[in-house]
Amino acid sequence: MSLLLAGGTGLVGRSLIALAKSRLIPITTVGRRITGEVENELVVDFSDLPSLPSADIAICTLGTTMSDAGSKPAFKGVDFDAVMAFARAAKQSGVRHFLVVTAVGADTESRAFYSRIKGAVEIELTTIGFDRLDILRPGLLLGQRQSRRFVEQFLQDLSPAIALITRGPWARYASISAEQLAGALLALCHETSPGIFYHQSPELQFLGDKASKDDVF
């Protein structure tokens, strides 16, 4: 199994690289800057992507925040335009299985611009024609980011209390660690049934925990 990864310098991407390296899974990163963690890295402009090397699977963990992006167009440029550019380039290179991390609440009808963009990219990805498309919708991501995001850090500090209320019908909003999400991504790489599949936090937590204990993944 060989992987293409967009978003390798982010929280989830860094965890995924570490896990893939520990399992000796070949991985090529595609991004605006190198991670310094793998041998094969492509530094690219997502608005003008070159042809990508062939791979079995492509994983996209690209994402930003409105605060980091600075404007709605800049946010869309990352969370929609760059994601779609990578997906199309991956398809052209022969990738048949694509995995993407969006967010809980992704919905084109949402009042929140963030959620509308996440919903829009999910819909657009279904038109590419991958044999299998896995859409991961985690709740709050836990982990140490390279850049400090004050709202997310505040929510992380409250995560034990939040965990008490994200049960039953609210379970999809449950927080999940970057390591768990990375494990879930690798676990899903081994799924071969064709179709479009959506995954929420409870399932992702289970898959991530299983992957950390199972050498198969």
How, if at all, do strands 3-6 and 27-31 pair? parallel
The residues facing 200 across adjacent strands are 137
Does 198 participate in catalysis according to the annotation? Answer: no
Whether residue 72 lies in the annotated active site: no
Q: Is the dihedral of CA 20, 22, 28, 29 positive or negative?
A: positive
Catalytic residue among 21, 72, 118, 213: 118
From the centroid of its chain, how far is CA 157? 23
Instruction: Give the Cα separation of 123 and 23 in Å (integer).
Output: 32
Instruction: Provide the β-strand partners of residue 198.
Output: 135
Q: Which of the residues 114, 173, 198, 213 is marked catalytic? A: 114
Under a CB-based contact definition with an 8 Å cutoff, are residues 97 and 90 in contact?
no
Give dist(CA 104, CA 11) in Å, integer.
17
Cα gap 203→75, rounded to integer Å:
28
Distance CA 99, CA 61 (A): 9
Query: How far is residue 193's CA from residue 195's CA, in Å, rounded to a whole number?
Result: 7
List CB contacts of 96: < 8 A, sequence separation 6 or more.
56, 130, 131, 132
Which amino acids are annotated catalytic?
A: 114, 118
